[in-house]
Amino acid sequence: MTVPEANETLPVAVLGHGRRMVVLSNQSDENLCSWLPFATTLIARGYAVALWDFGDASPVTELDHVVRTLRTATGAPRPFLAGASWGAKVSLIVAAQARPQVRGVVTLSAERILHPSTDVLDYVRKVRSPLLLVTADHDPYGSAEAAALFLEAAPTHHKTLISIPGTRHGTALLTVPAPTAVVPRILAFLRASEAGE
């Protein structure tokens, strides 16, 4: 599937089937392949997964177009948004503006500022979908501090902060071993968000 955006076309890979959709957005130094192990886990749990790479236009506009196109093409009116670092910030901004609301948002290492000067906190104050914030407690890019602010500011009643010991950032958080493993907690959040509707 492709998504037209300005003067380019964004390729979007949809894996799995059904209306339970998770849209995965990359951190700035990775591409969609970094999500494949987690995508496989989601598909095995019955979710469809959308993988895509940012292009050259506004990242917020691009993700918004991806979500709108998926709604039309797949019949999934309210996907989950999940992102790592850069993609986490963009997911929060799009979630604040999406109508209808997305089903939930999962962020891995979302920092406060989206380059060059967008304060993500301003948008988090409008996020009413269930929200899961995941960070390392010594994240080297300020995600831990931002996550605490986001948790306090988000108006949703369904919000959780998971802080993992260490300095892992972005998708590296998905490889944390037991007993603090992140993936089972994300899956539990997805299930709880669906059950709460």
Q: DSSP letters along 71-89, please?
A: HHHH--SS-EEEEETHHHH
**CA 60 to CA 168: how far, in whole Å?**
25
pTM for the full predicted model: 0.95
Which of 178, 186, 194 has the alpha carbon at shortest distance from 42?
A: 186
Pairing state between β 104-108 and 118-119 = unpaired
Q: Name the DSSP class of 156.
A: -
Pairing state between β 104-108 and 80-84 = parallel
State how far Cα 58 lies from the chain centre. 17
In what helix (H) or strand (E) does residue 44 lie, and over which residues does it extend? Answer: helix 36-44
For the chain, which residues score pLDDT lower than 50?
6-7
**3-class state of residue 20 by DSSP:** coil
**β-sheet with 48-52: strand ranges across:** 2-5, 8-15, 48-52, 21-25, 80-84, 104-108, 131-136, 159-164
Predicted local distance difference test score (pLDDT) of residue 7: 46
